[in-house]
């Protein structure tokens, strides 16, 4: 463990360079560049609001903001974990030539997605103004659930990047799994419409407590539930520890499959 910690500080400049590189790659050959991080959530909310607002507008106050917050949380998780999944394979030539802490590759991709997701939060302010939602000091707490989600994504990203080296079909399976996670997350529907016997499936979803916290501080102008904080933090610890253990156990075998 001491070796890993010392390597982290020794190569931290490389990690920063990888994060910057990943951000540049995301917007490479794009005319609008960073503006897509602003336009994409707004356009998605407009479309989904038109489709679903007639169903849930009476059940959910400030439905456009409710939809936008759900979409942003899910989009970050999906992008970060997907981006991390093939990070080892994509950087195989570099891994073969020089020594680099291999876990830097999935971690850098999760962090770079985190940076661009923060840019995507700017439209939230515009929607809050447009829908007449007041601002409060509780809004500043949004960073806590987002940071927890980053670590959850980091742990899952480490697991996915490890398994993908040995089982390339995981990318196809994971796209199906993400679709399931999307519908198990109350992005566009209220959680209270789920029957009690199925509600445990929704609450078992690691995105559920994070999203609840995110909406508490941004939409409902209140301090988030401490139970949600404990549960989401436990998810973050579990996935990071599990991801690091799996990654370190298998990383020496990567070279034979790249």
pLDDT tens per residue across span 47-94: 766 666 666 655 677 888 898 899 999 999 999 999 999 999 999 888
Q: Which pLDDT does position 72 carry in this prediction?
A: 92
Range of the domain at 166: 2-256
Number of compact structural domains in the chain: 1
What is the spatial distance between Cα 239 and Cα 121, in angstroms, rounded to a whole number?
A: 25
Residue with tokens 């999944």: 85
Rounded to two decimals, the pTM is 0.91
Q: Distance of alpha carbon 183 from its chain centroid, rounded?
A: 16
198 or 140, which is more confident: 140
Q: Which pLDDT does position 258 carry in this prediction?
A: 79
Are 154 and 146 in contact by the 8 Å Cβ rule? The answer is: no
Are 67 and 211 in contact by the 8 Å Cβ rule? The answer is: no
Q: Which pLDDT does position 22 carry in this prediction?
A: 84
Q: Which pLDDT does position 80 carry in this prediction?
A: 96
247 phi and psi angles, rounded to 5 deg: -60, -45
- Annotate the chain with three-state secondary structure: CHHHHHHHHHCHHHHHHHHHHHHHHHCCCCCCCCHHHHHHHHHHHHHHHHHHHHHHCCCCCCHHHHHHHHHHHHHHHHHHHHHHHCHHHHCHHHHHHCCCCCCHHHHHHHHHHHHHHHHHCHHHHHHHHHHCCCCCHHHHHHHHHHHHHHHHHHHHHHHHHHHHHHCCCHHHHHHHHHHHHHHCCCCCCCHHHCCHHHHHHHHCCCHHHHHHHHHHHHCCCCCCCHHHHHHHHHHHHHHHHHHHHHHHHHHHHHHHCC
Token couple for 60: 């959910």
Q: Which pLDDT does position 11 carry in this prediction?
A: 77
Q: Which pLDDT does position 55 carry in this prediction?
A: 64
Beta-carbon contacts of 169 under 8 Å, excluding residues fewer than 6 positions away, are none
pLDDT tens per residue across span 173-230: 999 999 999 989 998 888 888 888 778 888 889 999 999 999 999 999 899 999 999 9
């Amino acid at each position: 463990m001491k070796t890993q910690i010392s390597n982290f500080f020794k190569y931290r400049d490389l990690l920063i360079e990888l994060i910057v590189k990943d951000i540049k790659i995301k917007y490479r050959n794009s005319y609008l560049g960073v503006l897509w991080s602003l336009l994409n959530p707004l356009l998605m909310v407009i479309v989904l609001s038109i489709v679903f607002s007639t169903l849930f507008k009476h059940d959910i106050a400030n439905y456009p903001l409710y939809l936008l917050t759900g979409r942003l949380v899910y989009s970050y998780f999906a992008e970060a974990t997907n981006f991390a999944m093939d990070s080892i394979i994509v950087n195989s030539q570099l891994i073969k030539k020089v020594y680099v802490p291999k876990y830097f590759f999935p971690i850098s991709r999760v962090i770079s997605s985190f940076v661009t997701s923060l840019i995507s939060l700017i439209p939230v302010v515009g929607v809050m103004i447009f829908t007449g939602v007041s601002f409060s000091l509780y809004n500043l707490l949004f960073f806590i659930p987002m940071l927890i989600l980053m670590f959850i994504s980091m742990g899952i990203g480490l697991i996915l990047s490890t398994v993908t080296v040995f089982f390339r079909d995981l990318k196809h399976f994971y796209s199906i799994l993400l679709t399931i996670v999307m519908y198990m997350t109350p992005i566009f529907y209220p959680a209270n419409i789920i029957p009690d016997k199925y509600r445990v499936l929704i609450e078992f979803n690691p995105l559920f407590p994070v999203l609840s916290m995110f909406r508490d501080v941004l939409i409902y102008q209140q301090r988030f539930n401490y139970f949600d904080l404990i549960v989401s933090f436990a998810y973050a610890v579990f996935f990071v520890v599990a991801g690091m253990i799996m990654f370190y156990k298998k990383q020496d075998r990567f070279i034979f499959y790249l």
